């Protein structure tokens, strides 16, 4: 019995590693090795000579658009972070709410809304429409989607800079310009972090290239990878080469971030650190902040939302021969529900096993999960197309593969989300119950289930919202005839059926919100702490 326990303990610790190897390492490695080992992929036609030039064009376009949008978003994000941490004004809560709503809005839906705005007869042939239906429009949309990431990255560093730094600068008699220079030098690692995050998000973006970029016939890496896999003849090796370029650009951004952090970092939080108190805005700052908030709310929410609502109520055209895929709501609900449940269960098991495993296994799992987060969803979907499209694992085209891909994409994020709540549950609870002879099923239902129910439901809600409107993995792996809502919305966008797309989008948002509210009410009713307080009262 003791020998079985000694053997079983390493196996339990290795189970999460084996899970990651099967869901992540194996497909990605097989995809990236495909250009040199064609036998690892399905049979395909030979690449054309002009493919190299087209690939270079896609890389150049992606690099140019990503850098430009990042340079636009990062300075504004640093300023927003300063407003949120160092200034006290009535719009702070509204600013955070607008940033979160822009972050959570699917990029392809935001693009569609702006296409509707510039399709009106008043703006269709104007200068603004010409700018939007060009590279400038793509840069503007990428900057808008990257602004929340830049703000959140900068805000944390503004919060870490204590008041003693500025006090010391004033005591030493430094001028206002010198004090700002010192602050900017301290903020350089935060700006580098924001730059790396926004640049990585911009080059990995798929919704904007698949809508506005496709209409402009502008080759961008993410959509070029999709075209290699979704159009005949299929070019698996070409998709793998472009995936190398995309992952390489993301790794380059990460390298810049690490260099800046190592070269310019400093200890900002220590025993004598005093948080800098937020002061009221000066009149000029208040007017500038209010104007920026109004512009962000108008461009990111009000105007696009009004355009979608208008065409949903008064559609410009309805094609009766091609009905709306309302069944995509059902399919997305099923896929997202199952995928979220499996992802949360897998993340919980990984986090719990890391606590019982050694430090080396924990570091290895941390490295693998970080690598998974750095891989774009489109590359992960492409890897699944290749890895599970042979006679050994013929899962391509089945709902199972789509759900498994959702799980692989969501587990790293959920691991970080659940690490704190699960860390509050001490392992001695289960050990004490086991020593007192409590059966395994009773320990699970009476000890672990009540304590883990709250983080499980919150994690499920978060994963459900991410999966419900997910696009790149869905577009590559969905079963024929059963598209998720993201695929249905982009299909309507490509057919210029904006009214039908708006109605389907609002129905999907309403359904997702209704499920989230239902889960919140269930969580409130099932909370063991709340039930205990009510009984005591």
Average pLDDT over residues 248-277: 62
26: Cβ–Cβ under 8 A, 6 or more apart, which residues?
A: 387
Q: Is the pLDDT of residue 519 over 90?
A: no
Does one domain contain both 38 and 59? no
Highest mean predicted confidence (pLDDT) among 261-265, 335-339, 437-441: 335-339
Residue tagged 């590693």 (tokens): 17
Average pLDDT of the residues of the chain: 78
**Pair 307, 111: CB distance under 8 Å:** no
Average pLDDT over residues 11-25: 66
Q: Is the pLDDT of residue 332 over 90?
A: yes
pLDDT tens, position by position, 287-298 = 998 999 999 999
Number of domains within the chain:
2
| pLDDT computed for residue 166 by the predictor | 62
Q: Is the pLDDT of residue 10 over 60?
A: no
Does one domain contain both 304 and 422? no
Q: Record the tokens describing residue 526, joined without a space.
A: 């099932």
Neighbouring-strand partners of residue 87: 279
Q: Is the pLDDT of residue 480 over 60?
A: yes
| pLDDT computed for residue 458 by the predictor | 77
Q: Which residue segment(s) compose the domain that 422 sits in?
A: 9-43+324-537
Question: Would 315 be classed as within a structural domain?
Answer: no
**CATH at residue 483:** 1.10.3720.10
* CA–CA dist 243, 382 (Å, integer): 9
| pLDDT computed for residue 122 by the predictor | 78
pLDDT tens, position by position, 338-358 = 999 998 888 877 776 665 555
Average pLDDT over residues 387-395: 81
Average pLDDT over residues 518-527: 73
* CA–CA dist 51, 47 (Å, integer): 7
Average pLDDT over residues 202-221: 89
Neighbouring-strand partners of residue 279: 87
Does one domain contain both 82 and 160? yes
Report the first-to-last Cα separation within the chain, whole angstroms.
49
Q: Record the tokens describing residue 529, joined without a space.
A: 């702490």
Residue 22 DSSP class: I
Question: Would 288 be classed as within a structural domain?
Answer: no
Query: How large a percentage of the chain has pLDDT more than 90?
Result: 20
Question: Would 180 be classed as within a structural domain?
Answer: yes
Lowest mean pLDDT among 55-59, 209-213, 247-251, 453-457: 453-457
Q: Is the pLDDT of residue 368 over 60?
A: no
Q: Is the pLDDT of residue 12 over 60?
A: no
Pick the closest to residue 66 from 149, 151, 167, 171 (CA basis).
149
Lowest mean pLDDT among 150-159, 464-473, 491-500, 501-510: 150-159
* CA–CA dist 254, 260 (Å, integer): 10
Between 225 and 428, the higher pLDDT residue: 225
With H, G, I as helix, E, B as strand and everything else as coil, classify residue 236: helix
Does one domain contain both 100 and 165? yes
Does one domain contain both 255 and 343? no
Residue tagged 């054309």 (tokens): 48
Taking CA atoms, 41 is separated from 29, 38, 232, 378, 388, in Å, by 12, 6, 16, 17, 10
Average pLDDT over residues 302-314: 90
Does one domain contain both 34 and 121? no
* CA–CA dist 212, 493 (Å, integer): 10
Does one domain contain both 476 and 345? yes
Does one domain contain both 388 and 535? yes
* CA–CA dist 214, 116 (Å, integer): 16
| pLDDT computed for residue 397 by the predictor | 86
Which of residues 247, 277, 308 is at a domain's end? 308
Q: Is the pLDDT of residue 484 over 90?
A: yes
Q: Is the pLDDT of residue 423 over 70?
A: no
Question: Would 275 be classed as within a structural domain?
Answer: no
| pLDDT computed for residue 44 by the predictor | 58
Does one domain contain both 451 and 420? yes
Between 82 and 426, the higher pLDDT residue: 82
The pLDDT confidence band at residue 147, using thresholds 50, 70 and 90, is very high
Average pLDDT over residues 116-132: 84
Does one domain contain both 59 and 127? yes
Q: Is the pLDDT of residue 440 over 60?
A: no
Does one domain contain both 365 and 422? yes
| pLDDT computed for residue 239 by the predictor | 85
Question: Would 257 be classed as within a structural domain?
Answer: yes
Q: Is the pLDDT of residue 533 over 50?
A: no
Between 366 and 182, the higher pLDDT residue: 182
| pLDDT computed for residue 177 by the predictor | 66
**Pair 304, 211: CB distance under 8 Å:** no
The pLDDT confidence band at residue 530, using thresholds 50, 70 and 90, is very low
pLDDT tens, position by position, 230-256 = 877 778 888 888 888 888 887 787 777
Lowest mean pLDDT among 15-29, 37-51, 226-240, 444-458: 37-51
Question: Would 226 be classed as within a structural domain?
Answer: yes
Does one domain contain both 235 and 363? no
Question: Would 313 be classed as within a structural domain?
Answer: no
**Pair 345, 413: CB distance under 8 Å:** no
| CB-neighbour burial class of residue 274 (10 A; exposed 0-12, middle 13-18, buried 19+) | exposed
Opening angle at CA 211, ends 144 and 248, nearest 5: 70
Average pLDDT over residues 79-100: 85
* CA–CA dist 430, 438 (Å, integer): 9
| pLDDT computed for residue 335 by the predictor | 94
Question: Would 68 be classed as within a structural domain?
Answer: yes
Q: Record the tokens describing residue 46, joined without a space.
A: 């030979």
Q: Is the pLDDT of residue 270 over 50?
A: no
């Amino acid at each position: 019995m003791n020998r079985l326990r000694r053997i079983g303990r390493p196996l339990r610790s290795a189970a999460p590693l084996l899970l990651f190897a099967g869901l992540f390492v194996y497909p990605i490695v097989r995809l990236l090795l495909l250009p040199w080992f064609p036998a690892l992929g399905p049979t395909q036609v030979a690449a054309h000579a002009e493919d190299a030039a087209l690939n270079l064009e896609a890389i150049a376009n992606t690099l140019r658009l990503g850098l430009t949008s990042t340079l636009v978003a990062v300075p504004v994000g640093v300023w927003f972070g300063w407003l949120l941490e160092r200034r006290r004004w009535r719009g702070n809560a509204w600013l955070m709410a607008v940033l979160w709503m822009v972050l959570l809005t699917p990029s392809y839906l935001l693009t569609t809304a702006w296409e509707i705005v510039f399709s009106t007869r008043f703006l269709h042939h104007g200068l603004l429409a010409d700018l939007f239906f060009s590279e400038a429009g793509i840069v503007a949309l990428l900057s808008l989607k990257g602004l929340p990431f830049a703000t959140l990255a900068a805000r944390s560093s503004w919060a870490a800079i204590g008041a003693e730094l500025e006090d010391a600068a004033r005591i030493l008699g430094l001028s206002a310009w010198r004090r700002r220079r010192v602050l900017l030098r301290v903020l350089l690692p935060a700006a580098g972090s924001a730059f790396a995050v926004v640049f990585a998000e911009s080059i990995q973006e798929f919704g904007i290239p698949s809508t506005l970029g496709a209409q402009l016939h502008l080759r961008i890496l993410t959509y070029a990878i999709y075209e290699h896999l979704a159009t005949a003849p299929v070019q698996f090796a070409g998709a793998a080469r472009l995936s190398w370029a995309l992952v390489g650009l993301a790794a380059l951004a990460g390298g810049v971030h690490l260099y800046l952090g190592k070269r310019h970092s400093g200890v900002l939080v220590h025993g004598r650190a005093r948080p800098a108190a937020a002061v009221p805005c000066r009149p000029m700052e208040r007017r500038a902040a209010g104007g920026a908030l109004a512009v962000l709310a108008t461009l990111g929410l009000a105007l696009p939302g009004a355009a979608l609502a208008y065409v949903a109520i008064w559609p410009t055209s309805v094609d009766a021969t091609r009905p709306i895929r309302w069944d995509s709501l059902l399919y997305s609900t099923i896929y997202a529900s199952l995928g979220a449940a499996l992802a949360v269960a897998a993340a919980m098991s990984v986090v719990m096993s890391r606590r019982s495993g050694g430090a080396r296994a924990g570091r290895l799992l941390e490295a693998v999960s970080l690598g998974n987060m750095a891989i774009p969803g489109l590359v992960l979907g492409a890897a699944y197309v290749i890895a599970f499209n042979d006679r050994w694992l013929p899962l391509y085209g089945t709902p199972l593969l789509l759900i498994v891909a959702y799980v692989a994409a969501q587990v790293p994020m959920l691991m970080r989300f659940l690490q704190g709540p699960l860390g509050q549950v001490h392992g001695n609870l289960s050990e004490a119950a086991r020593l007192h002879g409590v059966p395994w099923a009773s320990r699970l239902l009476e000890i672990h289930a009540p304590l883990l129910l709250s983080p499980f439901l919150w994690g499920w809600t978060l994963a459900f919202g991410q999966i419900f409107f997910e696009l790149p993995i869905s577009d590559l792996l969905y079963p024929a005839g059963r598209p998720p809502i993201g695929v249905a919305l982009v299909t309507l966008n490509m057919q210029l059926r904006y009214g039908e797309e708006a109605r389907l989008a609002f129905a999907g948002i309403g359904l997702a919100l209704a499920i989230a509210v239902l889960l919140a009410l269930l969580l409130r009713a099932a909370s063991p702490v709340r039930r205990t307080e009510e009984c005591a009262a």
